[in-house]
Amino acid sequence: MTRVLALLALFVTLAVPGRGLHADETHRALVLVSGTDSNVDRLSSDEVLFLFMDAPVVKNGLRLQPVLNETDRLLREVFLQKVMFMSWRHYQRRLVSQAFSHGWPRPDTVSSLDELVYKLQHEPGTVTYMWKKTAEAQKIKIVQVLWSGSVN
């Protein structure tokens, strides 16, 4: 009888949304990061939008340099949808438009985590976005949480 109850309890735990063994894997936090010695402080949501549209953003006397994190496609999609409020295609069009209209160069794009961390640690004012767990594992400065929620 106890075996049946134990199996029933396990089944109920796995069947209830958000209570299964993999529930923690779907909840993520997207964070803005910079180098550990950086003096970059919290940015407003408008400053984040301007920064990643490559408009000049200056904090503590330093012009911030955005880097597009291409190490994870899901990360990119969540960043674009939840923070920038646009699709990849629309974002690319906006960047090209900004480059033609204002002469602003497009943000650097990095697809290697090692290269991204190196840039953050060695180029003052460089900021990017990544999953919180990745930032903690790389021991880099988390400036702020940009978004937190479940991803499928």
Beta bridge partners of 126: 65
Q: How confident is the prediction along the chain (152 residues), in pLDDT tens digits per residue? A: 544 334 334 343 444 444 444 555 689 999 999 999 999 999 999 999 999 998 899 998 999 999 999 999 999 999 999 999 999 999 999 999 888 888 878 899 999 999 999 999 999 999 999 999 999 999 999 999 999 999 87
CA–CA dist 59, 41 (Å, integer): 7
All residues at 6 or more sequence positions from 131 whose CB lies less than 8 Å from its CB, including other chains:
28, 29, 30, 31, 72, 75
All residues at 6 or more sequence positions from 22 whose CB lies less than 8 Å from its CB, including other chains:
none
pTM for this predicted structure: 0.81
Give the type of residue at 152: N
What domains are there in the chain, each with its CATH number? 27-150 (3.40.190.10)
Quote the tokens at residue 10: 């396990």
